[in-house]
Chains A and B, each alone.
Chain A
Amino acid sequence: MILMVWQLAVTIASGTLAGVTDGKMPLIAKVATSVSKTAAALSRAAGRGDGSVIGGWIGLKIDPDLLAHLSSGRAVALVSGTNGKTTTTRLTAAAVGVLGRVATNSYGANMPTGHTSALAKEGHTPFAVLETDEHYLAQVIDATRPKVVALLNLSRDQLDRAKEVAMMAQLWKTKLAGHPEIRVVANADDPMVVWAASGSPQVTWFSAGQRWHDDSFVCPESGHPIERAQGEWWCTGCPLRRPRPSWVVEDEGVIDPRGDWHLVKLQLPGRVNIGNAATALAVAAEFGVRPIEALPRLSRVTSIAGRYAQVDRDGRNIRLLLAKNPASWLEAFDMADQAPTLLSINARDPDGLDTSWLWDVDFSPLRTRPVLITGDRAYDLAVRLQVNQVPFRHVLSFDEALRSVPPGRLEVIANYTAFQDIRAELDRVN
């Protein structure tokens, strides 16, 4: 398949070089860009995927510096962290869009192949907002020379292969300290993020809350316990403490650095997304966008690669929530209505092969809702729910789940590949 795409792509690319790329790019980068776009289009046409990875993969094979070439001349923002990256990237791209065209990787393809595909596909744009996998942040900073880097949070995720939380924070800290020209927009409520940003001279702090504390009991600087009270936190053994944020979530809105409160009307559920909107406003402000200009654009964002999407089928209104790790499960329970809820768990490669994290989630908020479970690893979840005293019923398929609930809202909370499976059942809803 790949070879076929390659051959076709090279043939087609030879005729379409002139119009698609920046005239200053080296020839090899122009060829790579064109081939990359064509491969992505062919992948989509062949029904093999959304084309968000393969184009970049081929482009980088032809020109290893393609991402750097494609980034040059654009004002770039990178958005990284364990949770909320995809949504915050989408909201940030919408906000920066006030100023002009924005290239963005809106399908969650957040490694260099995805970035390359996204930039190649959009052609020249003055701006780019790129969701960046936390493991690749240092490498992508080198390639894209961003103006702004947004750091959302750091917590445990996919532990059978992910770098441990403190090690990740250290990698971020070292890289950012070596790039004083980058403006950092960082979450004041997460001690790991604050420490990672603490070596940077230009930091704008936002407060979007931290519901998950289990990965930041111990100060990454001194090893002493971290205390928390009334929204503040501080290390008991060194000066590290919560910085004063200039963007703060309050009620259904956000307070900006001038002290003005703005109502945030979103079509996305939950307080978590108000926090994501605050982050997007803070990043956009670094580009000169005012909240009052950005807010109407944020309110038009409906769903992101299926997340929060609502589908009506057989009288049921199905809403899809993605939850990949303990912190995001707590957020999903908060976003979901008191309605029948389907939980689906897989442990395939993209999910991480280990299901231990289920025991870090307190499922008790679901005791008052009818709960159905499914997925490759439903038995792991069954044992967890039994001990958590959450009644549930096991179903073998999404269809069976649908038939088991009365007409009305069905909340679906699933981890990554389980989410994609259900999204495929619903015709790859976006």
Chain B
Amino acid sequence: MSTEALRIVWIYPDLLSTYGDRGNLLILAHRAAARGIPVETYEVRSDQQMPSTADIYLIGGGEDGPQALASQRLITDGGLHRAVNQGASVLAICAGYQLLGHSFFAKGAKCAGLGLLDLSSDRGVTRAVGELRGDVDARLGLPPLTGFENHGGRTHVGAHAAPLARVTAGVGNDGQTEGAWAGKILGTYSHGPALARNPAIADLLLRWSTGADRLAPLDDSWADRLRGERLAAAGAV
């Protein structure tokens, strides 16, 4: 890997890519390139060693079996832990979000997570499926979160992490809060291509990893229309 380009790793697409997760990689690469930032993207499969020198790591959603397997392999590999200690940013979605915590449930069994976020997940009585909307933690300076959620988990955020948003429609972690963040790690139940509806989160990750205070604005008129439509749809339910 060269040192000049922004390096983005998509973690284990062979295991955790059920819901258009590739979209987040495409969107980050697109938005970086549009600012003239050179980008290198890597898809690291579960039988490969996890590099520890990239700038942004993406981990997506998946079924129970692959989720448990991915967590085991990441713990054994250690590359993601080293990367985070060196200041890398992480965006974790759904099953990937759960496995960053201390523990989660897959196929009825409690599984060890990576412990990179202070949270733990268990199973809810019902599956949360539908539009999700929330007001993002003011310290992040972001507009409202919009997403589509589809998960059976309930997540309890500990003292060393903060909820990403306060839920205004949908379920998220527990009907009250949604997602979590700490340092440069973000996790959300807004599944799949979460950045398509939330380009400001994509830019936050780019700012974190480039050190830039601000980035040149892009034409987000289509994303804005999509956001307006989905925020209204979540409110209407």
Which A positions have Cβ atoms within 8 angstroms of B?
156, 159-161, 164, 166-167, 214, 217-218, 223, 225, 353-360, 379-380, 382-384, 386-388
Contacts and interface: CB of A to CB of B under 8 A. Distances in A.
Contact of B20 (A353, A360, A382, A386): A360
B192 A354 contact: yes
Contacts of A156: 18
Nearest to B223: A383
A384 B13 CA distance: 19
B14 A354 contact: no
Contacts of A382: 222, 225-226
A358 B20 CA distance: 7
Interface in B17-36: 17-23, 26-27, 30
11 contacts: A161-B129, A166-B63, A217-B13, A225-B14, A354-B192, A356-B23, A380-B196, A380-B226, A382-B226, A383-B197, A387-B30
B65 to A, nearest CB: 7
Contacts of A380: 196, 226
B192 A217 contact: no
Interface string B27-59: 100100000000000000111000000000000
B79 interface: no
B191 interface: yes
A156 B129 CA distance: 17
Interface of B: 13-15, 17-23, 26-27, 30, 45-47, 63, 65-66, 69, 129-130, 148, 150, 191-193, 196-197, 222-223, 225-226, 229
Contacts of A388: 26
Contact of B222 (A217, A218, A225, A379): A379
A382 B230 CA distance: 14
Contacts of A160: 129, 148, 150
A388 B23 CA distance: 10
User: What 8 A-B pairs are tightest by C-beta distance, nearest first?
Assistant: A359-B23, A356-B192, A356-B20, A359-B20, A379-B226, A382-B222, A359-B193, A217-B14
A166 B222 contact: no
Given A357-B19, A360-B22, A386-B222, 7 more contacts: A353-B129, A356-B20, A357-B20, A359-B192, A382-B226, A383-B226, A384-B23
B22 A359 contact: yes
B225 A387 contact: no
Contacts of B225: 379, 382
Contacts, number: 78
A419 to B, nearest CB: 21
Nearest to A159: B19
Most buried by B among A223, A353, A360, A387: A387
Contacts of A358: 20, 23, 193
A379 B21 CA distance: 18
Nearest to A360: B20
A356 B191 contact: yes
Most buried by A among B65, B66, B69, B222: B222
A382 B193 CA distance: 14
B45 A354 contact: no
A302 B23 CA distance: 37
Contacts of B222: 379, 382-383, 386
Contacts of A161: 129
Contact of A356 (B15, B19, B30): B19
B230 to A, nearest CB: 8
Contacts of A223: 65, 69
Contacts of B26: 359, 387-388
A218 B66 contact: yes
A379 B229 contact: yes
A356 B193 contact: yes
A284 B106 CA distance: 43
Contacts of B226: 379-380, 382-383
B166 to A, nearest CB: 23
Contacts of A214: 17
Contacts of B229: 379
A165 to B, nearest CB: 8
Contacts of A354: 19, 148, 150, 192
A282 to B, nearest CB: 31
A384 B222 CA distance: 10
A140 B172 CA distance: 37
Contacts of A167: 63
Nearest to A361: B20
Nearest to A355: B148
B20 A387 contact: no
Most buried by B among A167, A357, A359: A359
Nearest to B45: A225
Contacts of A353: 129-130, 148
B22 A164 contact: no
B219 to A, nearest CB: 8
B86 to A, nearest CB: 28
A304 to B, nearest CB: 28
Contacts of A164: 18, 63
A388 B25 CA distance: 12
A380 B27 CA distance: 13
Contacts of B150: 159-160, 354
A421 to B, nearest CB: 18
Contacts of B23: 356, 358-359, 384, 387
Contacts of A218: 14-15, 66
A159 B26 CA distance: 21
